[in-house]
Amino acid sequence: MINEFDTIAAIATAVSNAGIGIIRISGGESMRILGEVFEPYNKKEVSLLESHRVYYGNIKDGETVIDECIVIIMKAPHSYTREDVVEIDCHGGVSVVYRVLNLVLKHGARPAEPGEFTKRAFLNGRIDLSQAEAVMDLIESRNELARRNSVAQLKGGLSDKIKKIREEVLYQVAYIESALDDPEHISLDGYGDTLYPRVEEWADETRKMLSSYDDGRYIAEGIRTCIVGKPNAGKSSFLNALLGEERAIVTEIAGTTRDTLEESVTIDGITLNIIDTAGIRDTEDTVEKIGVEKARREIENADIILYVADTSVPLSSEDFDILDQIRGRKKMFLLNKSDVSQAESNAGNTGEAGQSKAQRSGQSGEDQPKFRGNFEQAAACIREYAEEDEPVIAISAKYHQGIDDFITELKKMMFHGKIDANQEMYITNARHKKALDKALSSFQCVKESIENGMPEDFFTIDLMNAYEKLGLITGEAVEEDLVNEIFSRFCTGK
Ligand code: GDP
């Protein structure tokens, strides 16, 4: 059933000087308006032009030619909105696209609200709400994995799962209700035993979707990554190595990274939103104090903490303070400046500060550990701090060594080593997560009612609750306000 709406128009492409700019029109008046502003080179009557064809001609305001363009006609219901849609591809200059848009508005279209084309696709039943949200996620996707996940959702990957559970739930509710209405013919004896495994299946499926949310959020929004370490440990250098360019300030003066600095970097399809914190340490400098405070907060909010140690000098109380602060958080340990120890090792440096315990006690011989100075000391110390599943990786930020190892370990840690948006649907939307959480607790309630031998009409109340909550995802049970709120976050012209 197609809703009747007025005809809307908007610039669908980015408004800047570009090769092409597209003005999109949707609604019952689209073809009339096109007829008034477009003159095809084949001189045909616009009303006779065929759907799903491309026509070349002039956009004209009266006798004035505004631009030479290509027009695409997609008649209802075979269009994005299921209404008559016309796209005018003109030259991409800012003044050209505005001039064409204004002409279309002058002939009776009204400016489209943000997301209004997609909203119509939803209201006219072409896509459901989770697919509409996938359209927005697709536009905003920041990496390849996020894009693939959005496309899977747009194709109905999530909707299909939800619809299947909802259909099965509704069938059971209908069965219970008919039995309650007609107890002589339909018996509910032992029905709880039949229903229980079904509810377990739905709960498992829901739980599975929920468990993908963290991975989904990391994919869609990026991993909130906090780099910590004492001043001069090489945090900025590591950030620069990741970014592949010199964007952060690299300096040898302690404490110059005064505030936190946020960068986003995508490597192997994983987006890291990196916060390079000020060196966390006690300081009297007011400006630096603010930065240090902020760094402490960032540690609390981070998805993962990267602790960078300077292994060219012995670990100090500053390191141990930081290590204490990050205890219990998800983290990786980066033993930086490993190139220094390597150089020392090659040169056979035997300076007192870098000597191993064996060397200081005067031992010597073939079985003595190869001299690695501070590196070995720092590594041993840090391994004691690291939990079993927390990687300790030797890197050289300066010479870009160990970055691959870091990425491999990061993937293992954040995505359990397997990220493949082709095979799994990740839940990326907080609204969907909330609905799934509620559906899951309703399923739990049904299970409890069965376990406690409650009457069957108790089952239906909770089953219907789960049914409705799942319906929120696909948009079958949403309030108009929520629909408006969701589409208002879209860009204009989509
Ligand atoms: P931050 O204060 O932790 O951000 O440290 P920086 O990144 O500013 O680095 C401090 C100093 O250590 C700079 O002189 C860097 O060039 C140097 N540095 C950083 N990483 C390495 C490394 O892997 N090897 C060596 N040899 N020097 C490094």
Question: How far, in Å, CA of 28 to CA of 117, rounded?
Answer: 13
Pick the last residue of a domain from 415, 443, 475: 415
DSSP 3-state of 60: strand
| pLDDT band, very low/low/confident/very high, at 415 (cuts 50, 70, 90) | confident
What is the CATH classification number for the domain harbouring 96? 3.30.1360.120
Tell which atom from ligand 1 comes closest to the C-alpha of 251: 8
Alpha helices per DSSP H over 43-189: 94-106, 116-123, 129-140, 144-154, 157-181
- Residue of the nearest CA to atom 25 in ligand 1? 337
Same structural domain, 246 and 390: yes
Q: How many CB atoms lie within 10 A of CB 175?
A: 17
pLDDT at residue 215 in the model: 80
| pLDDT band, very low/low/confident/very high, at 344 (cuts 50, 70, 90) | low
Tokens linked to 349? 């440096």
Range from 54-58, 143-147, 461-465 carrying the lowest mean pLDDT: 143-147
Is 341 touching ligand 1 by the criterion CB < 6 Å? no
Same structural domain, 250 and 269: yes
Task: Calculate how far, in angstroms, residue 293's C-alpha sits from the geometric centre of ligand 1.
Answer: 23
Same structural domain, 405 and 296: yes
Same structural domain, 178 and 227: no
Same structural domain, 263 and 144: no
**Residue 196 CB contacts under 8 Å (≥ 6 apart), including other chains:** 447, 450
Same structural domain, 378 and 233: yes
Is 250 touching ligand 1 by the criterion CB < 6 Å? yes
Same structural domain, 201 and 177: yes
Is 227 touching ligand 1 by the criterion CB < 6 Å? no
Task: Calculate how far, in angstroms, residue 270's C-alpha sits from the geometric centre of ligand 1.
Answer: 25
% pLDDT > 70, the chain: 84
Dump pLDDT digits (tens) for 120-171: 999 999 999 999 998 888 888 877 778 888 888 888 889 999 999 999 999 9
| Containing structural domain, residue 297 | 219-337+372-415
Q: Is pLDDT larger for residue 303 or for residue 143?
A: 303
Tell which atom from ligand 1 comes closest to the C-alpha of 231: 2
pLDDT at residue 285 in the model: 60
Task: Calculate how far, in angstroms, residue 103's C-alpha sits from the geometric centre of ligand 1.
Answer: 59
Q: How many domains does the chain have?
A: 3
Q: Give this prediction's pTM.
A: 0.70
Same structural domain, 96 and 139: no
**Residue 491 CB contacts under 8 Å (≥ 6 apart), including other chains:** 114, 115, 139
Is 130 touching ligand 1 by the criterion CB < 6 Å? no
What is the CATH classification number for the domain harbouring 482? 1.20.120.430
Range from 67-81, 157-171, 179-193, 339-353 carrying the lowest mean pLDDT: 339-353
Domain-located, residue 360: no
pLDDT at residue 353 in the model: 38
Same structural domain, 314 and 393: yes
pLDDT at residue 292 in the model: 65
Is 229 touching ligand 1 by the criterion CB < 6 Å? yes
Domain-located, residue 96: yes
DSSP secondary structure string for all residues of 282-324: ----HHHHHHHHHHHHHHHH-SEEEEEEETTS---HHHHHHHH
Q: How far is CA 276 from CA 162, 297, 331, in A?
A: 41, 13, 15
Domain-located, residue 241: yes
Same structural domain, 454 and 307: no
Main-chain dihedrals φ then ψ at residue 54, nearest 5 degrees: -110, 135
Dump pLDDT digits (tens) for 171-196: 999 999 988 888 888 888 888 999 99
Pick the last residue of a domain from 390, 415, 440: 415
28, pLDDT greater than 70 = yes
**Residue 41 CB contacts under 8 Å (≥ 6 apart), including other chains:** 55, 56, 57, 58
379, pLDDT greater than 60 = yes
| CA 255 distance to own-chain centroid | 33
